[in-house]
Amino acid sequence: MQTLARTPAGGITTSQSPPFSLPIRYMLLGMVGFLVFAVDLVIQSSGLNGHNTFLPSIVALTHLLTLGSLLAFVMGAVYQLSTVAFLVPIKTVTVAKWNFWLYAISIVGLIISMMVWWVMGLMIFGTLAVIAIYLYSLIIIWSVMATNLRGAMQWFVLSAHVYLIVAVSLALLLIISFMVPGFLANVYQPLLLSHIIFAAGGFFTFLAMGFSFKLLPMFTLSHGFSTSRQKWTLILLHIALWAFIAGIWLNDRSALWVAGIIGIAAFINHLFDVRGIMKKRLRKNTEAPIYAVLIAAYSGGFAFLLLFVQLGVALQIAGWQEIVTFYLMGWITLTVMGFAYKIIPFLIWNERFRKKIGKEKTPMIADLLHPNRAKPVLIGFLAGLILLTVCSLMEWIPGTVIGTLMIGASIAVFAIQLLLVVNLKKVGKER
Amino acid sequence: MARQIIELDVREMLKTKQDPFERIMATVQQLEANDVLELHATFRPEPLLKVLGKQGFRHAVVEEATDHVIVQFYKSREDLPIFHLDNRGLEPPQPMVRTLEFLDQETQCQNGTMGVEIWNERVPALLLPELTERAFEFQVTDEEEGTVRVKIFRNQ
């Protein structure tokens, strides 16, 4: 038993949190984005299959999820969590706050331009969105670089943001390829795939894994677990990502096979880490949102397995749309949903009730949104995703429609639950 | 930092048959009103408990090992012995984990004969439901100086 109550005289201070209004504005945008995405998903459910990925409405729908929901929410979460995970302040809160408006306006303009396929709009709002994402990434990189804490988590987060910069730069090249015929138009397919890989496999994957090393122990009260595997997951993920890029640009199937195998290895390694964290937890009850995060990690590995099988069966990358959808939903969206169920009530409780505790009767975090209420939502989402994936592979349209409707309904309920916790009437008055 | 735990380890002096009394009293003189003296000794120092008790100090004793006893001296109006954990400066979730481990492993806390006061930099929001689940009661005091005190105890 280590009871030594050591005095941290002159020691580090962990109170570096940014003002509440910074993370919450991005997270609110993300929640509204999730709600709009859910409605759009339900509306478009009858037309969704792997064959019409390039329809403007589907492109818009995809970016409503990735940029309007996931990235917006994640940006707010990263502004909040970086200060806790790395014990550093955000370098420039003012720029981060103003950048929100640039991001929000550009994303709305960009998604509308996608829906109506207005190429000039794509160029204008795409450029603005890229500037906003560059600014965000640079603020985080600058802030995280200042930490004295060393470890794999720092490199996961830094890698994620470097890959985000690459992903959005490639997106800009894609837009240019629509306007200027020539070399870029000729390499449209590898450009598009690289954009997806750097965004989904690069940014979101590195970030989700990196922050899991902090968030899972935080929410399960775990410590004393091994961290020695983390660096190997990091290395394996980098190798997998670049093997993908090489395979796509060199049209080399063997590189894609290597990427698939190493990607599976990275997720298996990550799952061992997750298991280690869970084994050492002090919290007696594991809540539904945490189970969702665990299942999401398995889904990520399973998506790589699907890709591997796909490469073996089809001997090409065709069919990637279904796998990307599964990866985006099963791994990234489910991870964000699981952590969001824990982060939002925590953030709101901290802002509204922390100062009142001890002075008056205050609710507990679970009173704001009990984790049990997440259970049916997450089960519905997972069931819908499984149905969608299986029916897509079997090309059974009614099944894909039902699966899509289930996903849409679950995400809508998820967004409404969180918005009710935030309470829009109160949040506007908070600092 | 308005309050701190002053650590004094006299185990080596005791093992070499030296008398640590003067050193202990010199340290006691340095204590501010809210400070805690944490003494590490090889046995429960009964005479010292009485001497400092007469000076208004209460104490909480934890037996870390057969030859390692930790005694904390502090000023308080409460009768229940309180052991103090200074969690400030620890990387989250260590403040919460450290507290729960102490509560789970210390029998005096389990049977309600000793309480714990933790000093954190913020209200440990995720810890509070765990305390309720383990049938501990708590009182939170935010000192507004980067220190939040949470007194944790179990009613006997």
How far is Cα of residue B93 from the mean position of the Cα atoms in its chain? 20
Q: Give the pTM.
A: 0.89
Give the pLDDT confidence of B77-133 residue by residue, as tens digits: 888 999 999 998 888 888 999 999 999 999 999 999 999 999 998 888 889 888 988
Q: What is the pLDDT of residues A238-256, one digit of tens each?
A: 999 999 999 999 988 889 8
Q: In chain B, what are the domain boundaries?
A: 5-75, 82-153
For residue A15, the model assigns a pLDDT of: 63
Instruction: Give A362's contacts in chain B (Cβ within 8 Å).
Output: none
| CATH superfamily placement of domain B5-75 | TusA-like domain (3.30.110.40)
Helices (H), strands (E): how many in chain A? Answer: 18, 0
* Residue A240 pLDDT: 96
Restricting to B residues 30-69, those with a Cβ less than 8 Å away from any Cβ of A are: 36, 38, 62, 64
pLDDT at A268 over 70: yes
Instruction: Give the model's pLDDT for residue A7.
Output: 39
* Interchain CB distance below 8 Å, B91 and A14: yes
What distance in Å separates the CA atoms of residue A191 and residue A34, rounded to the nearest whole number?
A: 27
If we measure between CA atoms, which residue out of B154, B91, B84 comes closest to residue B119? Answer: B84
Question: Taken in order B20, B22, B25, B29, is the CA torsion positive or negative?
Answer: negative
Question: Quick check: B83 contacting A, CB < 8 Å?
Answer: yes
Are the CB atoms for A157 and A207 separated by under 8 Å?
yes
Averaged over A269-273, what is the pLDDT?
A: 96
Smallest Cβ–Cβ distance between B130 and the set A4, A221, A223 belongs to: A221
Q: Does B2 touch chain A (CB under 8 A)?
A: no
Question: How far, rounded to the nearest angstrom, does the alpha carbon of residue B7 sit from its chain's CA centroid?
Answer: 11
Exposed, middle or buried by CB within 10 Å (0-12, 13-18, 19+), for A187?
A: middle
Give the per-residue pLDDT at B123. Answer: 87
Residue A243 structure tokens = 């093997």
Q: What does the mean pLDDT of chain B come to?
A: 92
Q: Domain locations in chain A?
A: 17-149
pLDDT tops 90 at residue A368: yes
HSE-CB for A337 with a 13 A CA cutoff: 37
What CATH number matches the domain at B82-153, 3.40.50.150, 3.30.110.40, 3.40.50.80, 1.10.630.10? 3.30.110.40
Nearest residue in chain B measured CA to CA from A148 = B91
Mutate which of B126, B141, B150 to test chain A, going by most A C-beta atoms within 10 A? B126
Question: Is B64–A13 a contact, with Cβ atoms under 8 angstroms apart?
Answer: no
DSSP assigned state of A330: I
| A6:B5 CB<8 A | yes
In whole angstroms, what is the distance from residue B122 CA to residue B138 CA? 15
Indicate whether A8 pLDDT > 70: no
Confidence at residue A239, expressed as pLDDT on a 0 to 100 scale:
97
pLDDT confidence bin for A4, thresholds 50/70/90: very low
Asked whether the beta carbons of residue B64 and residue A1 sit closer than 8 angstroms, the reply is: yes
Q: What is the CA radius of gyration of chain A?
A: 21
Q: Can you give the three-state secondary structure of A122-170, one letter per residue?
A: HHHHHHHHHHHHHHHHHHHHHHHHCCCCCCHHHHHHHHHHHHHHHHHHH
Q: Does residue B146 surpass a pLDDT of 50?
A: yes
Q: Does B90 touch chain A (CB under 8 A)?
A: yes
Interchain contact, B86 vs A6, CB within 8 Å: yes
Which residues on chain B are in Cβ contact (under 8 Å) with A354?
122-123, 125, 142
**Do the Cβ atoms of B9 and B70 come closer than 8 Å?**
no
Residue B74 DSSP SS3: strand
Identical fold for domains B5-75 and B82-153, yes or no, is yes
Most A-contacting residue of B36, B61, B119, B128 (CB-CB within 10 A), to test interface: B128
Instruction: Give the helix/strand (H/E) hosting A21.
Output: helix A21-44
Residue B116, classed as helix, strand or coil, is strand
